[in-house]
Amino acid sequence: MSPASVALAVAAFAIGTAEFVVIGLVPEIARDLVVTIPQAGLLVTGYALAVTVGAPTVTALAARLPRRGLAVGLMSLFTLGNLLGGAAPSYEVLLLGRIVTGVAHGVFFAVGAPIAMGLADRGQGARAVATMFAGLTLAMVIGVPFGTTVGQSLGWRAPLLAVAVLGGLTAVLLRRLLPRDIPHASPGSLQSQLAVLAKPRLLALYVVAMAGYGGSFAVFTFLAPLLTEVTRVPPAAVSMALAGIGAAAVVGNLGGGRLADALGTRRSLIVALLGLVLTLAALPFSAPHLLPVSVNLLLWSAFCFCLGPIVQSGVVAAAEEVAPGAVATASGVNIAAFNLGIATFSAIGGLLVAGPGILTTPWAGAVAGGAALVASLFVRSRQPGEHVDLHR
């Protein structure tokens, strides 16, 4: 890994920890702030909505800023958001801190993916994105389980404050390791950048991002209560389960990058989405049994998280062809689509938990995955080994 890749992966690790650690602490937050489980789940939804709105709009507005300075500034904003959340005296202030952090998250990934692909060797663009996203999935293995354990022992505020410290250190790391002059395509006008929303070649990928990846969060947001109430594992074992799921996510993420470079975008998406739908559909049947649900969740995580580098590299490649002055904005819209899916389906999951029951959440994810599978048939496949030139 190059120094730039290390910096991007460490930033992604901090961001991933901040985003997902709340999932394992939903019951603790609900008890401490005297809100319901679905209300605590809205901390995931609100974060995702902040990413959805912030990623495309702020990325487009910041298109002319130097990439290194922008990345450092975003991690500084991320740090402030986590400090606000960790010190929050009320649910409303915590939600505000999550929103600030979410905006920084969305723009950072929108900018970071084109940086990673632009600095990659020919034919390894998807693997470069996967390297960056590996930080996100490693957060699932290390950051989230550790943060969940710390949060259960010392209170939910402790992991947020720890992530704030990590965010500050990461901002310093980015300033030291990212190249001073990072190449990126010359941006067009704000109107021309936002016009990527009307490009059919990109729209199919955005649908896959929203429904395929995001749909799984109908389950993932409420995974802790599913494991404790249905599988009957002790609360202390939730962090172990998240660690296993995170390990599978790392494998899936790296595998997705290699799959996209080897098979192209469309075929790799079809493989991943077929596996995702099947594993989600099996979850209501495996959930009451410890060993089957363990295997089921590992497979589901691998298929879910391999979608990230496949879709993101496909979006950057397609944008370079149809909107070369708006590559970062197209990437930002994709990050928005991922998180709009997270927001939508975590909210749907909350309604299902409050209504027919928690075992109906996998069916929502499976239906969403099926819709994404249909959309993937309309994706123009980036050819295996195709290089994306972002140096223009």
Q: For the chain, what are the domain ranges?
A: 3-376
Q: What is the pLDDT of residue 77?
A: 95
Separation of alpha carbons 27 and 155, rounded Å: 11
* Predicted local distance difference test score (pLDDT) of residue 61: 81
pLDDT attached to residue 19: 85
Q: Write the CB contacts of 369 (distance below 8 Å, at least 6 apart in sequence).
A: 211, 212, 215, 216, 273, 276, 277, 280
Nearest to 245 by CA among 93, 357, 138: 138
pLDDT at 110: 82
pLDDT for res 191: 67
187 dihedral zone (left: phi>0; alpha: psi -120 to 50; beta): beta
The class level of CATH for 3-376 reads mainly alpha
| Closest of 201, 190, 132 to residue 326, by C-alpha | 190
Run of H or E residues at 244: helix 238-263
Give how far the C-alpha of residue 55 lies from the chain's centroid of Cα atoms, to the nearest Å: 12
Mean pLDDT, each 10-residue run in order, the chain (392 residues): 80 90 85 85 82 82 83 94 92 92 90 75 69 80 82 90 94 86 63 72 91 90 88 84 85 87 89 96 94 95 91 84 75 83 86 91 95 90 49 40
| The model's pTM | 0.76
Residues 6+ apart with CB under 8 A from 357: none
Joined together, the tokens standing for residue 59 give 């990325």
pLDDT of residue 344: 87
How many CB atoms lie under 10 A from the CB of residue 122? Answer: 10
Q: What is the DSSP string of 322-388?
A: H-GGGHHHHHHHHHHHHHHHHHHHHHHHHHHHHTT-GGGHHHHHHHHHHHHHHHHTTSPPPPTT---
